Amino acid sequence: MAKNLKSTHIYANAQIYTGPCYLRAFYISSAAAQTTDCYAHDGTSTSDPMVFGIDPSAQGIFTIMLPEPGILCEKGLFVDKGDNAAVTVVYQPV
């Protein structure tokens, strides 16, 4: 049986989930065009492999929905985001 989707809203770099999960979507609210980049890593820090990255070049709200089943993060999901962005991450534990 599939597990339910979960979401976390962050204002700073954060460990979203520990353990295997699928990254399903990003919602990015950017206050400025600079440093709004957002990267997802398979693990617990920025030194772990990056599995997805987005660098919006404008101010606004951006929705990135990934195709089924999403991107598998086997060790966990860590999100590294720019200074001028708030991010909601949608994921699904395995």
| Core vs surface per residue 38-76: b (16+ CB within 10 A) or e | bbbbbbeeeebeebbebebeeeeebeeeeeeebbebebb
Average pLDDT, rounded, for the chain: 91
User: pLDDT tens across 16-60, in order?
Assistant: 999 999 999 999 988 776 667 899 999 999 999 999 998 877 788
Beta strands in 1-94 (DSSP E): 6-10, 14-18, 21-30, 38-42, 50-54, 60-65, 71-73, 76-81, 85-93
DSSP state of 81: E
The Cβ of residue 30 has, within 10 Å, a number of other Cβ atoms equal to 23
Architecture of domain 6-93: Sandwich (2.60)
pLDDT at 3 (0 to 100): 80
**Could you tell me the residue ranges of all domains in the chain?**
6-93
Residue 63 above 70 pLDDT?
A: yes
